[in-house]
Amino acid sequence: MTENAQATAEVVSAQNISRIFGEGTSGFQALDNISLSIREGQFVSVVGPSGCGKSTLMQIIGGLDAPTRGEVRIDGEPITGPRPDKIGVVFQEALLLPWKTAAENIEFPLSLSGVPPAKRRARAMELLDLVGLVDFAGRFPHELSGGMKQRVAIARGLVRNPRLLLMDEPFGALDEQTRTRMWEELLRVQERSHATILFITHSLVEAVYLADEVLVMASRPGRIVERIVVGLPRPRSLDMLGSERLGKLRNQIWHLIAEPQETNQETRP
Amino acid sequence: MEIWIVRAWRLALLAALVVVWEVASRLHWVDPDLLPPLSSIFAMLGTLLRDAAFRSDILVTVVECLTAFVIVVPLGLISGFALGESKRLEKMFGLPLQLLMTVPKSIFLPVFILAFGIGFAEKVIFAVVLTYFIVVPTGIAAVHSVPSGLLLAARSFGATRAQIYARIYLPAVAPIILSGVRLGLIFSVHGIIFAEMYASSEGIGRKILDWGESFDMKRLFAGVLLILVATVILNETMQALEGWLRTRTRFDSKS
């Protein structure tokens, strides 16, 4: 996949992104000089300790927050605000509107931009089929399980056929079993939709298992310390969770994340 | 238990109360001068409602209640929204509001009478003050009931500020707002009748006080019954509407 990716177009390009909250000496540097590139059809994970600025990075790439320095481009176009036509976002919480059915929730972004009802309903049904929830089109969120709600949220993220699907710890609130099933679901969805995905997580196994490439972040200031090519064959299968390759990568990332913090503690007065 | 069984029991209880009241009075188990038969009270209520003077008293009370209601609900809800949305305002006014909420507002009524004189303005202002502190918390709760992440999500879908207010905030807070409206209505009635009973020349509260002091039990009970039935019907109707809205707009605590 990575070999192929070299030949495909660059979808996301971030150049020297820094984000400082507050002003002057009391300012807090959340991100320091982050650059990354994602090619069409690539699945890239970002993993790092909590507080390393993963979510800030996601918000900047999604146009929901502006960098203090640097620039993000999608298909070569600078991002200066939300771009629902280019970027779909899935959050940790499904954030469905409780007064709308599963289908209506998926349609919601389309309704905001005035797509006619028949057209958007057809699109919602397509996506419900993609995430395996056709029979639940008319159900309200409170009638759906946690995993189902997150699948609706993924479908909603894909509704405008975005160039990039941003996922911010989308399975973080789910239990272990549901999460594992969601991995299968997401891999299947990606295979069928060829979506380009930037996936943020704090789970090392999840980061490696799903992605072509893992960006490892460290905190204070938030920066990318390593770019790891996963190199596991596709399609992925759950057997790979126990594979030597995955275990090795997981440990490698673990040391990258854990060591700087340990040395910090040793040198602390 | 099935809902119709519960309803049947409630109806039976009400019927029993009606029968016991009627019988107890008629058979002199209690002094009928103190507790006249229910049927005679209903007859009196009918007579009163045909009396133009009494109807004008009702009209006075209704106009006062509606005036207080129309002033206090937007005032209270908008204050609540502002407090719920701004951490700074909450810091400044949160505590004083909370302290004032616990104070019985009736202690201020003599001050209002001195300040505004006995009459329409004094009664309405008292009801507004009483009700304001009940409506404000529902405004705050309405704002807090919308998950903050939803705003970010809405922006990522390309929602404009107007769309966020119209398509997310408004439907999300509708049941809580309605609950504020309901409390506003009930407490406006409460405040107006209290103010009328305390000092007034007209209104149904004044009449009830007069009948009580002149030991006119039939009229007194008729007046009490009228207000009781009217407020219960008001409250229940609005609560039913609120419940229907609420089932449609409940955010789960988890995703």
**Which A residues, 81 through 110, put their C-beta within 8 Å of a C-beta on chain B?**
82-85, 87-89, 91-95, 97-99, 108-109
Does B157 contact chain A (CB < 8 Å)? Answer: yes
Q: Do B252 and A95 touch (CB under 8 A)?
A: no
Q: SS3 of A217, please? A: strand
Assigned token pair, B148? 């903050």
Does B251 contact chain A (CB < 8 Å)? Answer: yes
What is the pTM (predicted TM-score) of this model? 0.74
Q: Do B255 and A93 touch (CB under 8 A)?
A: yes
pLDDT at A84: 93
DSSP letter string, A28-79: EEEEEEEEEEEETT-EEEEE--TTSSHHHHHHHHTTSS--SEEEEEETTEEP
- How many Å separate Cα A74 from the centre of its chain? 15
DSSP strand pairing (A223-229 vs A197-201): unpaired
C-beta atoms surrounding B63 within 10 Å: 14
A10-21, strands of its sheet edge to edge: A28-39, A10-21, A69-74, A77-78
Does B156 contact chain A (CB < 8 Å)? Answer: yes
Residue A80 identity: T
Axis-axis angle for helices B120-144, B52-85 (nearest 10): 40
Eight-class DSSP state of B28: T
Q: Please name the residue that has the structure tokens 């005679």.
A: B40
pLDDT digits (tens, 9 = 90+) for B156-166: 999 988 898 88
Measured distance CA(A58)–CA(B37) in Å, rounded: 74
Q: Do B208 and B220 contact (CB within 8 A), yes or no?
A: yes
Architecture of domain A5-86+164-267: 3-Layer(aba) Sandwich (3.40)
Q: Do B96 and B133 contact (CB within 8 A), yes or no?
A: no
Report the residue from A89, A140, A150 with minimal CB separation from B156. Answer: A89
DSSP strand pairing (A164-168 vs A87-90): parallel
Does B166 contact chain A (CB < 8 Å)? Answer: no
Please give, rounded to a whole number of angstroms, the shortest distance from the CA of B255 to a CA of chain A.
4
Q: Do B255 and A84 touch (CB under 8 A)?
A: no
Which residues does chain A have within 8 Å of residue B152's beta carbon, measured at their own beta carbons? 59, 64, 91
Instruction: State the alpha helices, DSSP H only, in chain B.
Output: 3-26, 38-50, 52-85, 87-102, 109-116, 120-144, 148-156, 161-163, 170-198, 204-213, 217-249
Measured distance CA(A171)–CA(A182) in Å, rounded: 8
| Of B230, B233, B219, residue with least CA distance to B61 | B230
pLDDT at A267: 44
Q: Do A146 and B255 touch (CB under 8 A)?
A: yes
pLDDT digits (tens, 9 = 90+) for B10-59: 999 999 999 999 999 999 898 888 889 989 999 999 999 999 988 999 99
User: B250: pLDDT confidence band, cut at 50, 70 and 90?
Assistant: low
Axis-axis angle for helices B120-144, B87-102 (nearest 10): 130
Does B158 contact chain A (CB < 8 Å)? Answer: yes
User: A266: pLDDT confidence band, cut at 50, 70 and 90?
Assistant: very low
Interval A109-131 mean pLDDT:
93
Eight-class DSSP state of A170: T
Measured distance CA(A74)–CA(B85) in Å, rounded: 34
Q: What angle do CA B228, B234, B238 make, to 5 degrees?
A: 145
Q: Where in chain A is the domain with CATH 3.40.50.300?
A: 5-86+164-267
Q: Do B252 and A98 contact (CB within 8 A), yes or no?
A: yes
Q: Do A253 and A204 contact (CB within 8 A), yes or no?
A: yes
User: B91: pLDDT confidence band, cut at 50, 70 and 90?
Assistant: confident
pLDDT digits (tens, 9 = 90+) for A220-248: 889 999 999 999 998 899 899 989 999 99
Please give, rounded to a whole number of angstroms, the shortest distance from the CA of B10 to a CA of chain A.
31
